[in-house]
Amino acid sequence: MSRIREKAAEFQDAKRVMKMGLYPYFRSIESEQGQTVIMDGKEVVMMGSNNYLGLTNHPEVKAAAKEAIDRYGTGCAGSRFLNGTLSIHQECEEKLAEFMGTEAAIVFSTGFMTNQGSIPYLVPRDGSLFLDHADHASIIDGARLGHGKVVKFRHRDMEDLEKKLRLSNSSIKLIVVDGIFSMEGDIAPLPELVEVAKRYDAEVLLDDAHSIGVLGKTGRGTASHFGLENEILGTVGTFSKSFASIGGFFAGPEDVAHFLKHHSRPFIFSASPPPANMAAVIKSIEIIDREPERIVQLHQRTKYLVHALQDAGFSIHDHGTPIIPVYVRDTMLVFKACMRLQEEGVFVNPVISPAVEPHNDLIRLSVMSSLTEEHLDFAVDKLIKVGRELGFLGDDGKDAVAVANGQAEREE
């Protein structure tokens, strides 16, 4: 056996969990991602999708994608740099720039690739990148690809950021943060962050993967939410959530977009996104603008779920976003909870270290505007049942994890 195969064979952790029947990844869904999905022939309430505005199965979005296939075919057979730029790519970029209120936008083939194709090329060898400790993996990997120095600051800690900016003598300083942090749903303190950045001649790049279609009255994201659109360098985002497709984009000044088009290796050397993807994004933007009530309903459903979980005894923080963490703080218990909830008819996502800090293992709930109060009530009932069964919700209706943590603090 080769050394590479020996190294691969040493990894047995996932197989051990599989044998226990608790493996919560790569679960097969047999239907479109609506309010409910079909798994193993059974209907399950979807509480783990990033389809925040319910557009992935919207008939107009599906029709637009089909029409694009009829006109352009299924693929582009090349990169944007050469033969792979279709008129629908340019139309999508124009729509995105208009939607985001920026001079320009460029489209990447995936959201992950957007950070890999933007961050390394914005900061030179004598520059520095400042990343929040809770930044998404794509931001971290994008930063690693570049030649600039990478500096991490404590999560949402502006004093720590300022201290590290003060010590930097880099020619270019770029702060990159999630607008909504993807694992626990809290929002970047953008007003304070912008203020600190100005004091040290730094610029801010926002990753609004989970903020587009969620924050701001019109779903324009975190900068719009705080009224700071003109105070940041730009925004990167994804199509795989509110835009009902796959791909990603950078939106910002025209000269920065032009620079990336001619320097970003992931952009230049990757095949273009399929035309159907672009059509889905264009139609999603049209629907978001036409039906702002979808965003209103998303926040109404989120508040409803937060209050229901709090009333049930769970220690839930209301960050005002549709990502709601239920802390279990034990990896195997998270796996058990996810599989038991699926058996009970609710799909949720497990989040464990290193996606969160050690002992912050959690069940992540994601709200969609299309979910009804009946769906949410059903999910809460099942969470109560499984929480009591597995011990992370006490029989007295109190969050057992929160109670245990409070007891430990008192003992210290």
Backbone φ and ψ of 45, nearest 5°: -70, 125
373-396 confidence digits (pLDDT tens): 999 999 999 999 999 999 999 765
Neighbours of 172 (CB within 10 A): 16
The fold of 9-46+292-411 is: Aspartate Aminotransferase, domain 1 (3.90.1150)
SS3 263: helix
Q: Cα(242)–Cα(274) distance, rounded to whole angstroms?
A: 18
Alpha-carbon distance 225 to 162, whole Å? 23
Q: List every span in the chain annotated with CATH 3.90.1150.10.
A: 9-46+292-411
In the CATH scheme, what is the code of domain 59-290?
Answer: 3.40.640.10
The dihedral through the CA atoms of 328, 330, 332, 335 has a sign that is positive
Taking the C-alpha atoms of residue 375 and residue 189, their distance in angstroms, rounded to an integer, is 32
Q: Given this model, what pLDDT does residue 408 score?
A: 45
Q: What angle do CA 322, 155, 121 make, to 5 degrees?
A: 90
pLDDT at 401: 63
CB 288 within 8 A of CB 369: no
Residues in contact with 249: Cβ distance below 8 Å, sequence separation at least 6, in sequence order: 93, 96, 105, 106, 107, 108, 114, 236, 237, 238, 239
- In 23-104, which residue ranges form alpha helices assigned H by DSSP? 59-72, 87-100
Tokens 């340019």 belong to 90
Predicted confidence at residue 399, as pLDDT, reads 72
Give the residue among 136, 129, 113, 72 at the shortest CA–CA distance from 268.
113
User: How would you class 9 by CB atoms within 10 Å of its CB: exposed for 0-12, middle for 13-18, buried for 19 or more?
Assistant: exposed
3-state secondary structure of 208: coil
Q: Which residues of the chain have pLDDT under 50?
A: 407-412
Would you state the pLDDT for residue 402? Answer: 64
pLDDT tens digits, 212-225: 999 998 999 999 99
CA distance 143 to 187: 21
- Residue 149, helix vs strand vs coil: strand
Please check whether residue 51 is in contact with residue 368, taking contact to mean a CB–CB distance below 8 angstroms.
yes
Q: Which two tokens stand for residue 107?
A: 């489209």
Tell me how far apart the alpha carbons of residues 35 and 43 are, in angstroms, rounded to a whole number. Answer: 10
The token duo for 162 is 């300022």
- The boundaries of every CATH 3.40.640.10 domain in the chain are 59-290
Distance between first and last Cα of the chain: 52
The order of strands in the sheet holding 36-39 is: 36-39, 42-46, 346-347
**Catalytic machinery residues:** 182, 210, 241
Taking the C-alpha atoms of residue 222 and residue 178, their distance in angstroms, rounded to an integer, is: 9
